[in-house]
């Protein structure tokens, strides 16, 4: 009889690609991962792992069993969802992530309301950029992730995920108070062709969106500074070091010396929540989505 927790460990190894990654995803030690795998190898009577330099890789038998493990765990998720749905109670633990401005702007409202309505539900939240949040939901490390895409650059979702809209988040251009365009009612992005931009990290979805959008207007962006957090970007703007895109969600308070001006072309982000389709019937998932949408509506 195969042990479910050991199959879960094998599945985590297959998804994360390393013992340390599996341990982090499962919130256990690396030695616990190794012990679980040794016991599973004894159960099946075959080697499931082989040395690969300083790490390990799955053997053919390991990959075969990992494929079965993924299907078994999905069925277990479905069974748990059906049982929760039949019971109709919002209980258990719910693990959520959100990109930083949503964690600041949405989570305080949504999670406090969720806890008040459903005190038997344990909430665990963290800040993650959209790509990492989606990956966490796919791996099963998270139950829900609040993510985003932009009006002109949608984000592709992996198969097996469900999404629901939370809100549209308008974005302005933030500039120093002494900037030549600071007194305008609205601006065009093309007017910032000679300005230095303060943007997100290289490779991040929002950075790639900004580069794509400016280049589509014939502008080769001048990137002066990078910062992951909106408030850090605004602090750099306040010091006169450039301009940045400043979405409304989670940006307040705006520092002294910074002016935000709407963009004529209505720049906005679509904020939504994603979860696994096989968990769709869980009352806790439905309650969390409802709370997030209510928070988005109150902010919108």
Lookup: tokens for 87? 């019971």
| Residue 287 pLDDT level (bands cut at 50, 70, 90) | very high
User: Could you tell me which residue, 80 or 275, shows the higher pLDDT?
Assistant: 275
| C-alpha to C-alpha distance for 177 and 245, rounded to whole angstroms | 15
Q: How confident is the model at residue 271 (pLDDT cuts 50, 70, 90)?
A: very high
What is the C-alpha to C-alpha distance for residues 6 and 37, in angstroms, rounded to an integer?
Answer: 7
pLDDT tens per residue, range 109-126: 999 999 999 998 999 999
pLDDT at 12: 87
Residue 85, pLDDT > 70, answer no
Q: Which two tokens stand for residue 296?
A: 């988005």
The token pair that represents 176 in the structure block:
């120093």
**Token pair recorded at residue 162:** 């469900």
Whether 86 shows a pLDDT value over 80: the answer reads no
pLDDT at 197 over 80: yes
Phi-psi region of 182 (alpha: psi -120 to 50; beta: other; left: phi over 0): alpha
Beta carbons within 10 angstroms of residue 268's beta carbon = 17
139: pLDDT strictly greater than 80: no
pTM for this prediction: 0.76
Which range of 10-14, 157-161, 209-213 scores highest in mean pLDDT? It is: 209-213
**CB 93, CB 141: distance < 8 Å:** no
> 98 with 146: CB under 8 angstroms?
yes
CB hemisphere CA count around 178 (13 angstroms): 4
Mean pLDDT of the chain: 91
User: How far apart (Å, rounded) are the C-alpha atoms in residues 108 and 116?
Assistant: 12
Highest mean pLDDT among 52-66, 150-164, 180-194, 270-284: 180-194
Short-list 62, 68, 81, CA closest to 17:
62
Between CA 74 and CA 7 the distance in angstroms is: 12
Instruction: Enter the DSSP assignment of 255.
Output: P
Q: State in Å, rounded, how far the first CA of the chain is from the last one.
A: 53
The pLDDT of residue 1 is: 75
Going by C-alpha positions, the residue among 168, 194, 204, 192 that lies closest to residue 261 is 192
Please state the separation of Cα 208 from the chain's center in Å: 16
Q: What is the pLDDT of residue 156?
A: 85
């Amino acid at each position: 009889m195969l042990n479910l927790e050991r199959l879960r460990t094998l599945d985590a190894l297959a998804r994360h690609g390393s013992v340390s990654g599996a341990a982090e995803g499962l919130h256990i030690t690396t030695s616990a991962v190794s012990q679980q795998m040794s016991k599973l190898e004894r159960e099946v009577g075959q080697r499931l792992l082989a040395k690969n330099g300083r790490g390990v890789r799955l053997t053919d038998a390991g990959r075969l069993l990992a494929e079965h493990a993924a299907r078994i765990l999905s069925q277990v998720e479905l069974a748990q969802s059906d049982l929760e749905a039949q019971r109709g109670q919002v209980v258990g633990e719910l693990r959520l992530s959100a990109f930083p401005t949503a964690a600041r702007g949405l989570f305080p409202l949504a999670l406090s309301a969720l806890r008040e309505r459903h005190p038997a539900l344990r909430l665990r939240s963290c800040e993650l950029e959209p790509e990492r949040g989606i990956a966490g939901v796919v791996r099963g490390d998270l139950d829900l992730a609040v993510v985003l895409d932009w009006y002109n650059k949608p984000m592709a979702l992996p198969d097996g995920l469900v999404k629901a809209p939370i809100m549209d988040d308008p974005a302005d251009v933030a500039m120093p108070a002494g900037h030549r365009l600071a007194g305008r009612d609205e601006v065009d992005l093309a007017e910032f062709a000679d300005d230095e931009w303060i943007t997100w990290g290289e490779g991040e979805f929002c950075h790639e969106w900004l580069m794509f959008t400016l280049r589509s207007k014939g502008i080769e962006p001048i990137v002066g500074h990078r910062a992951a957090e909106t408030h850090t970007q605004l602090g750099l703007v306040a010091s006169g070091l450039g301009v940045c895109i400043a979405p409304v969600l989670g940006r307040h308070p705006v520092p002294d010396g910074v002016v935000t001006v709407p963009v004529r072309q209505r720049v906005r982000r679509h904020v939504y929540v994603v979860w696994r389709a096989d968990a769709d019937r869980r009352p806790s998932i439905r309650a969390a989505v409802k709370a997030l949408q209510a928070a988005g509506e109150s902010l919108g």
